A and B are shown apart, each in its own frame.
Chain A
Amino acid sequence: METAATKAPARGLWSGDEAVAMAALDGEVALGTGYPGTPSTEILEAFSALGGRAQWAPNEKVALEVGLGAAFAGARVLVTMKHVGVNVAADPLFTAAYTGVDGALVLVSADDPGMSSSQNEQDNRRYAVAAGIPMLEPASSQEAYDFTLASLELSARWKIPVILRMTTRVCHSKSVVHRRDHPLPPAPAPSFVRDIRGRVMVPAFARPAHHKLRKKLDEIRAWAETSPLNAVHEGSLALGVVTAGISFQHVREAAPEASIFKLGVVYPLPLEALRRFAAGVERCVVVEEGDPVVADALLAAGIRVEGKPEMFRFGELSVSRVRRILARDESPEPPEPKAKPPELCDACPYHPVYGALQRMGCIVAGDIGCYTLGVMEPYQAMDTCVAMGASVGVGLGLRHVLPEAQARKVVSVIGDSTFIHSGLNGLVEMVYNPPATGHVLLVLDNGTTAMTGQQEHPGTGRTMSHDATGHVSIEGMARAAGVKNVDVVDPVKDPKGFEELLTRRLASNDLSVIVSRRPCILAAADIRAFEKTNAAKAAAASPCAGCGSDDAA
Chain B
Amino acid sequence: MPHSLSPVVNVVFAGLGGQGVIKASDVLADAAFRAGHDVKKAEIHGMSQRGGSVTSDVRFGPQVHSPMIPDGHADFLVVLAPTQVENNLHQLRKTGVLFPPDLVPEESLKNRRSLNVALLGALSTHLSIAEEHWRAAIQDALPERLLQVNLEAFEAGRAAERARPPGKGRHAAP
Smallest beta-carbon distance B21→chain A, Å: 12
The 8 Å CB contact of B87, one of A173, A320, A339, is A339
* B52 beta carbon closer than 8 Å to chain A: yes
The 8 Å CB contact of A38, one of B46, B64, B84, is B46
Given A174-B40, A175-B40, A340-B84, A169-B52 contact (CB < 8 Å): no
* Alpha-carbon gap, A2 to B128, bound state (A): 37
The 8 Å CB contact of B46, one of A116, A250, A340, is A116
Taking CB atoms, residues of chain B closer than 8 Å to A526 are none
* B110 beta carbon closer than 8 Å to chain A: no
* Alpha-carbon gap, A343 to B53, bound state (A): 11
Whether B66 pairs with A250 at a CB distance below 8 angstroms is: yes
Taking CB atoms, residues of chain A closer than 8 Å to B88 are 337
Closest to B38 in A: A176
The number of residues on chain A lying at the interface, defined by a beta carbon within 8 Å of a beta carbon of chain B, is 38
Whether A116 pairs with B44 at a CB distance below 8 angstroms is: yes
* B108 beta carbon closer than 8 Å to chain A: no
* Alpha-carbon gap, A319 to B71, bound state (A): 9
* B122 beta carbon closer than 8 Å to chain A: no
Taking CB atoms, residues of chain A closer than 8 Å to B83 are 340
Closest to A346 in B: B51
* Alpha-carbon gap, A169 to B30, bound state (A): 18
* B125 beta carbon closer than 8 Å to chain A: no
The 8 Å CB contact of B50, one of A38, A39, A256, A342, is A342
Whether B42 pairs with A172 at a CB distance below 8 angstroms is: yes
* A109 beta carbon closer than 8 Å to chain B: no
Smallest beta-carbon distance B62→chain A, Å: 12
Whether A341 pairs with B39 at a CB distance below 8 angstroms is: no
Given A13-B33, A173-B41, A342-B67 contact (CB < 8 Å): no
The 8 Å CB contact of B71, one of A140, A246, A320, A453, is A320
Smallest beta-carbon distance B17→chain A, Å: 7
Grouping DSSP codes into helix (H, G, I), strand (E, B) and loop, the B interface class, with mixed when no group exceeds half, is mixed
The 8 Å CB contact of A253, one of B17, B47, B50, B66, is B66
Whether A373 pairs with B66 at a CB distance below 8 angstroms is: no
* A345 beta carbon closer than 8 Å to chain B: yes
* Alpha-carbon gap, A38 to B2, bound state (A): 35
* Alpha-carbon gap, A176 to B36, bound state (A): 11
Whether B49 pairs with A168 at a CB distance below 8 angstroms is: no
Closest to A112 in B: B46
* B68 beta carbon closer than 8 Å to chain A: yes
Size bin of chain B's contact surface: 35 or more
* A95 beta carbon closer than 8 Å to chain B: no
* A344 beta carbon closer than 8 Å to chain B: yes
* A318 beta carbon closer than 8 Å to chain B: yes
Whether B42 pairs with A253 at a CB distance below 8 angstroms is: no
Whether A39 pairs with B67 at a CB distance below 8 angstroms is: no
Chain A 142-173 near chain B by CB (<8 Å), digits 1 or 0: 00000000000000000000000000110011
Taking CB atoms, residues of chain B closer than 8 Å to A402 are none
* Alpha-carbon gap, A319 to B1, bound state (A): 13
Whether A249 pairs with B53 at a CB distance below 8 angstroms is: no
The 8 Å CB contact of A13, one of B29, B42, B49, B65, is B29
Taking CB atoms, residues of chain B closer than 8 Å to A535 are none
* Alpha-carbon gap, A337 to B51, bound state (A): 17
* A117 beta carbon closer than 8 Å to chain B: yes
* B48 beta carbon closer than 8 Å to chain A: yes
Whether A342 pairs with B17 at a CB distance below 8 angstroms is: yes
* A5 beta carbon closer than 8 Å to chain B: no
Given A13-B39, A175-B41, A249-B67 contact (CB < 8 Å): yes
Taking CB atoms, residues of chain A closer than 8 Å to B16 are 340
Given A172-B42, A319-B70, A453-B30 contact (CB < 8 Å): no
Whether B50 pairs with A320 at a CB distance below 8 angstroms is: no
* Alpha-carbon gap, A249 to B57, bound state (A): 15
* B3 beta carbon closer than 8 Å to chain A: yes
* A8 beta carbon closer than 8 Å to chain B: no
Closest to A247 in B: B66
* B90 beta carbon closer than 8 Å to chain A: yes
Smallest beta-carbon distance B129→chain A, Å: 14
Whether B67 pairs with A175 at a CB distance below 8 angstroms is: yes
Taking CB atoms, residues of chain A closer than 8 Å to B50 are 342-345, 370, 373
Smallest beta-carbon distance A485→chain B, Å: 32
* B164 beta carbon closer than 8 Å to chain A: no
Whether A342 pairs with B29 at a CB distance below 8 angstroms is: no
Smallest beta-carbon distance B123→chain A, Å: 18
Taking CB atoms, residues of chain A closer than 8 Å to B68 are 169, 250, 318-319
Closest to B39 in A: A13
Smallest beta-carbon distance A257→chain B, Å: 8
Residues in A lying within 8 Å of B, measured CB to CB: 13, 38-39, 116-118, 140, 168-169, 172-176, 246, 249-250, 252-253, 256, 318-320, 334, 337-345, 370, 373, 451, 453, 522
A-B contact pairs, 12 of them (CB 8 A): A13-B29, A168-B44, A174-B40, A175-B40, A175-B41, A246-B67, A252-B65, A318-B66, A319-B68, A340-B83, A342-B52, A451-B47
The 3 A-B pairs with the shortest beta carbon distances in the complex, nearest first, are: A117-B46, A342-B52, A342-B50
Given contacts A13-B39, A250-B66, 8 further A-B contacts (CB under 8 A): A118-B46, A140-B40, A173-B43, A174-B39, A249-B65, A250-B68, A345-B49, A522-B49
